[in-house]
Structure 1
Amino acid sequence: MSDPISDFFDAWQIEEANERLNKIASAVAKDIQYDDPRTSDTIKGVDALSDYVGMFSANAPGWSANVVKSDTNGSVTRATVAFSGAGPDGQNKVQLGQYFVEKDGDLISRMVGFVGTGDPQTAV
């Protein structure tokens, strides 16, 4: 059985819109709520979330997003995600983000993301 959190972040590197939408739809509930430090409002629904993720792949071609660590406490999973790819100088860059995830059954129902991991040494 695949992990919906890893599946969701795998979609961040998919440039083709329908393929990305299908990958995201397989990982999240239809009424998904997603909060990100780069958005002012909660993103609601699979289509809106796929459009948002599509902006990442359009603005950072070749970059990937991978879960590098996760743990669960009660009904909430904390996932550390490494966003990586070539920077403007051609050198590989890595930026960490931390997400708190709630699920409804096997699908993500709510996700809240933060830049960095809260550790001053890894802040971006």
Structure 2
Amino acid sequence: MMTEASHVIFEHKTGRYIGEPLENDGRRVLVKILAVVGHPEQGDLHNPGDPDAPMFHERRALSYTEKVWIPAQAARPYAGTVPDYRQSLKAALEAEVEKLERSKRWTERSLTLLETLRSDYKF
């Protein structure tokens, strides 16, 4: 990781962020959140895709200017323009919703086809 970078991109608890490195202790980097690139996934990380998991977690994105320690190797230099936090949060949330909507539509179409196959197989 280039500690000299003015901005870094990294993943933290299933979310993806752009931030400003503030401190580095050699193992970890303290980063101030500036933008959300990918919204955290919902549900139980130990049982992905299971809607009946005993602990279905709500995961919020890290807040604007929130500070978080991350492993130094997780931070990669980011040279692009840092988007506005609120706009990036909205785009990340909408992308996550679209991903789930596509998955839902895939599941519904698959179930329809499987029901046809069940009939064809005479089960």
Q: Same fold (TM over 0.5)?
A: no
TM-score for the superposition, normalised by structure 2: 0.25
Answer 1 or 2: which has greater strand percent. Answer: 1
TM-score for the superposition, normalised by structure 1: 0.25
Answer 1 or 2: which has greater helix percent. Answer: 2
Query: Which of the pair has more CA radius of gyration?
Result: 2
